[in-house]
Amino acid sequence: MKDDELLARVAEAVKQEEESVDPRLDAFAAGEIDEKAAREALSGAADADAVLAAYRPLDQKTRHTIVERVLADRPAARPRRVLALRLLLLGAPTAVAVAAIVFVALLPPGGLPDYSDELMAGDATVRGTATTASTRLHVDSRLEWVLRPASVSPGHIEVQTFLLKDGVATAWPVTAEISEQGSVRMVGTARSLGVPAGELDLVAIVSRRGAAPEDWRTMVEAARESGGVSGAGFRLFVRRVTVHE
């Protein structure tokens, strides 16, 4: 058999295999048609269940697993070890009632340096000594939260902020100042910053452009317990506060 004849037969075999699959199954995998329509495409085939199982679109959880595995396999995307270290809360009785300083020593992923956060609440009545403790402050007390890089961080930095109350997350539209060195600062009173009364978590994610995780809520507990978590190009900080009127 000559090369051309062999090539033609192999090409025909590939073509027939491709044509043996109803294009509606591809549409099913892409989520463009529903399972009922896909089943119709199989017109009662004996192995319809297996075919549908193979083509049924992979769910978000599976895709998330893929993303995490890809990022984890990349040297720049490996989760960094949180090494240390928290210095917490010295309560100065007046001006700075509570100061929480948390250093999170991190290897720099994605070009983002180590960051530490410092929460200052101008209400001296209650102070916390651990990251998981709630810091109490009056609604008109000064509230200042600063996230500082361990070294100058050239390049674009962005910050996302959220409020997490009773398990419900809402965007926290606070104005965050970002310095040229990469520091992030939010300052005002609880009221002016739009922090409502009650106990809730303040969440801030510092990241390179687009590197903030969408699934940050799964990291909140770890952030509370360890003073912050890091990922590929982002740092996540969580502080619990109780605002009273």
Partner 1 sequence: MELSPQDVDAALAGRRDATRRLVDGLTPVVQARVARILLRRRRAGRDIRQDVQDLVQDVFVALFADAGRVLRAWDQRRGMSLRNFVGLVAERLALSRLRTHKRNPWTEEPVDGLDVRQSAGDPPEVEVASRELVRTLADRLREELTPLAMHLFRLLFIEERSVADVCATMHMGPDAVYAWRSRIGKRLRRIAHDIGSEQTTWEQTPKRGRR
Question: CA-CA distance, 152 to 143, in Å (whole number)?
Answer: 25
Residue matched to tokens 């083509």: 55
216 interacts with partner 1 by CB under 8 A: no
Residue matched to tokens 């294009």: 23
Instruction: Determine the interface stretch with partner 1 among 7-15, 96-104, 180-188, 220-228 (rule: CB under 8 A).
Output: 7-15
Among 136, 138, 142, 208, binds partner 1 (CB under 8 A): 208
Instruction: Read off the tokens for 104.
Output: 């999170």
Distance of CA 138 to the CA centre of its chain: 30
Question: SS3 for 216?
Answer: helix
How many residues form the binding site for partner 1 (CB under 8 A)? 57
DSSP tag of 57: P
Among 76, 84, 92, 107, binds partner 1 (CB under 8 A): 76
Among 77, 82, 121, 203, binds partner 1 (CB under 8 A): 77
Q: What is the CA radius of gyration of the chain?
A: 26
Nearer to partner 1, 66 or 197 (CB): 66
Question: CA-CA distance, 205 to 157, in Å (whole number)?
Answer: 10
In the complex, minimum distance from the CB of residue 212 to partner 1, in angstroms, rounded to a whole number:
7
Using CB under 8 A as the criterion, which residues of the chain lie in contact with partner 1 when the complex forms?
A: 1, 3-4, 6-18, 20-21, 25-26, 29-31, 47, 50-51, 53-58, 62-63, 65-67, 69-71, 73-74, 76-77, 109-110, 208-214, 231-234
